[in-house]
Amino acid sequence: SNRNDLCKFPEPPGHPLLGHISTITSTTSIIYNLSRYIENYGNTLKLNIGPSVFPLSKSLVTIDYKFVKFVLSHNKILKKSQNYQFFRRWLGNGLLISDGDYWRRHRKILTLAFHTEILKDFVGVFESVGDVLIGKLGKYDGKSSVDVHRLVTLCALDTICETAMGTKMNVQSGENSQYVESVQQMGRIVIERTLSLIKVSKYTFWLTRDYYIQKNALKILHGFTLSVIDSKRNKPVEKTTKRMAFLDLLLKVSHDENILTIGELQEEVDTFMFEGHDTTAAGISFILYCLADHPEEQEKVLQEQKELFGDDKNPPVTYSDLQDMKYLECVIKETFRLYPPVPIIGRYTTEEIKFDDSLIPKNTNIIFFIYGLHRSSEFFPQPEKFKPERFQNFNSAFPYAYIPFSAGPRNCIGQRFAMLETKSIISKIVRHFEIKPTLPRHELKLSVETVLKSVNGIKVTLKKRN
Ligand code: HEM
């Protein structure tokens, strides 16, 4: 029977009723526990994350190369795992969680908005928004520490608004943003609902404080995206032969071709606003943290900048300059290996699938533990070590061993956007500041809150370069 097929996979002992949520109880214990399970039970294992009412009560967790490749490249396993349902109230049927023909149609349209020619136009915005960040970081010159994550997040939000959405929001000019706070809350709540006996069901969720936090957060999140849409909607889209950026394109498609209702449009704006800033903000912050810990590698990044721009700290950076920052690219890749901003993703089988000698039954959640995959010594010798050089001759015979942007038909649509933005910001910061570890050294407390976070922030010390 179906169940028997999953039973072929090793399963750690769990609580008879609660399964494995009795060990995986919080967003901060996920990485530790999954890593330990894999160490002890192998690269693919069966977990029951919660009793049968739980979305992940029947799951395979994997870092097995062949299995990862098989599923992610499969053209019929495109549905997201059941825990993504907790995003619905926020992101509706946006690209991250939609599936079937609806997803296919939207993916095709939205791909146009990330064309190279459009990305080239964004470089100036990455630069000018980044300059505001440099000004804000300057206030921490010589101070004992700065939590870069908070400041970088505001910068990344301004960036996605001014590029894809075509609207200046200037969130960086304030210290806080209710939108940013609400994103953090929702990212956490979505994961906690997967792990909590009370939060999992809507009938008991409302008894918790998080229900009210979510209710308030959703009001703020949707209010913000609506204001972004409104600021564009009332302006007639210029008749132009130029390629159109994300929101212009969506407005045009919804207006001219009637394929997209305004509600559907807002769901995509909510999705891209979130995916387009929370991920890059985490990524950029982890890179700064790694550079602080690795002065030699930081020096190489700086030398590369000097080769490109001499001693000019504020050069007019072009798209092609960003392409030429090869060593920096290795640093970014190595950081995304050790700290993948999206550490876990999931798929769901809608029919029985045959893989090797196994039949994976219909209705199985397949969870890809990207964080664990990236630390496997099979593909990354001395996996715990920060070695950007490994990407100078990375063995591309195993493309599915390194998947910070996922892979296959549902990979990250914003991957090239993210790389350009990250290069623009990091190169700028390195030209202006020496990044050093705080004293005593700040130890990250990693937490899977959809995006990888550190519950105590991501802190470094900054010193202005002469
Ligand atoms: C360092 C930055 C980023 C990382 C590490 C990252 C990673 C990922 C990953 C792993 C997925 C697959 C998710 C899944 O299977 O559930 C994904 C999907 C997606 N990403 Fe990114 N992302 C980044 C930046 C961006 C940016 C800048 C945008 C938009 C401008 C974006 C938009 C999306 C969207 C819309 C999807 C869903 C695509 C689909 O299902 O067709 N991401 N991303």
Q: What is the tens place of the pLDDT at every residue in 358-401?
A: 899 999 999 999 999 999 999 999 999 999 999 997 767 789 99
Sheet holding 146-147: strands in order across?
A: 146-147, 459-464, 433-436
Question: What is the average pLDDT across 260-278?
Answer: 96
* pLDDT tens for each residue of 173-211: 987 799 999 999 999 999 999 999 999 999 999 999 999
What is the 407 CA–ligand 1 centroid distance (Å)? 10
- The 10 Å Cβ neighbour count of residue 310 is 9
Can you tell me which atom of ligand 1 is nearest the CA of 272?
29
Query: What is the structure's pLDDT at 236?
Result: 65
Query: pTM of the full predicted structure?
Result: 0.97
Q: Is the CB of 278 under 6 A from ligand 1?
A: no
Token output for 137: 């970081």
Residue 258, pLDDT > 80, answer: no
Q: Is the CB of 286 under 6 A from ligand 1?
A: no
Q: How far apart are CA 351 and CA 334, in angstroms?
A: 36
Q: Is the CB of 279 under 6 A from ligand 1?
A: yes
Q: How far apart are CA 347 and CA 420, in angstroms?
A: 28
Q: How confident is residue 239, by pLDDT bands cut at 50, 70 and 90?
A: low
Token output for 51: 């009793």
Residue 1, pLDDT > 80, answer: no
Query: What is the structure's pLDDT at 376?
Result: 96
Residue 4, pLDDT > 60, answer: no
Mean pLDDT for all residues in the chain: 94
Q: How confident is residue 235, by pLDDT bands cut at 50, 70 and 90?
A: confident
Token output for 40: 């002890």
Query: What is the structure's pLDDT at 396?
Result: 75
Residue 34, pLDDT > 80, answer: yes
* pLDDT tens for each residue of 105-120: 999 999 999 999 999 9
Residue 238, pLDDT > 70, answer: no
Query: What is the structure's pLDDT at 256?
Result: 82
Residue 11, pLDDT > 60, answer: yes
Which of 229, 256, 90 has the alpha carbon at shortest distance from 164?
229
Query: To test the ligand 1 pocket, which listed residue (75, 118, 279) has its Cβ within 8 A of the most ligand atoms?
Result: 279
Q: Is the CB of 130 under 6 A from ligand 1?
A: no
Percentage of residues of the chain with pLDDT beyond 70: 98
What is the 425 CA–ligand 1 centroid distance (Å)? 19
Residue 6, pLDDT > 90, answer: no
Please tell me the least confidently modeled range out of 52-66, 223-237, 323-337.
223-237
Q: How confident is residue 464, by pLDDT bands cut at 50, 70 and 90?
A: very high
Query: What is the structure's pLDDT at 3?
Result: 52
What is the 323 CA–ligand 1 centroid distance (Å)? 21
Provide Rg for the chain, Cα atoms.
Answer: 22
Percentage of residues of the chain with pLDDT beyond 90: 85
Residue 356, pLDDT > 80, answer: yes
- Helix H segments across 294-442? 295-309, 319-324, 326-338, 370-373, 415-432
Q: How far apart are CA 16 and CA 22, in angstroms?
A: 10
What is the 133 CA–ligand 1 centroid distance (Å)? 23
128, 155 in Cβ contact below 8 A? Answer: no
What is the 413 CA–ligand 1 centroid distance (Å)? 6
Q: How confident is residue 43, by pLDDT bands cut at 50, 70 and 90?
A: very high
What is the 316 CA–ligand 1 centroid distance (Å)? 29
* pLDDT tens for each residue of 149-176: 999 999 999 999 999 999 999 999 987 7
Between the CA of residue 151 and those of 14, 220, 292, what are the distances in Å? 41, 20, 17
225, 56 in Cβ contact below 8 A? Answer: no
Question: What is the average pLDDT across 51-58?
Answer: 86
399, 407 in Cβ contact below 8 A? Answer: yes
Q: With a cut of 0.95, is the ipTM above it? A: yes
Query: What is the structure's pLDDT at 237?
Result: 65
Q: How far apart are CA 32 and CA 242, in angstroms?
A: 49
Q: For residue 39, which amino acid is it?
A: E
* CA-nearest residue, atom 13 of ligand 1: 345
| Torsion sign across C-alpha atoms 389, 147, 421, 312 | negative
Can you tell me which atom of ligand 1 is nearest the CA of 422?
1
* CA-nearest residue, atom 14 of ligand 1: 345
Query: What is the structure's pLDDT at 307?
Result: 98
* CA-nearest residue, atom 6 of ligand 1: 405
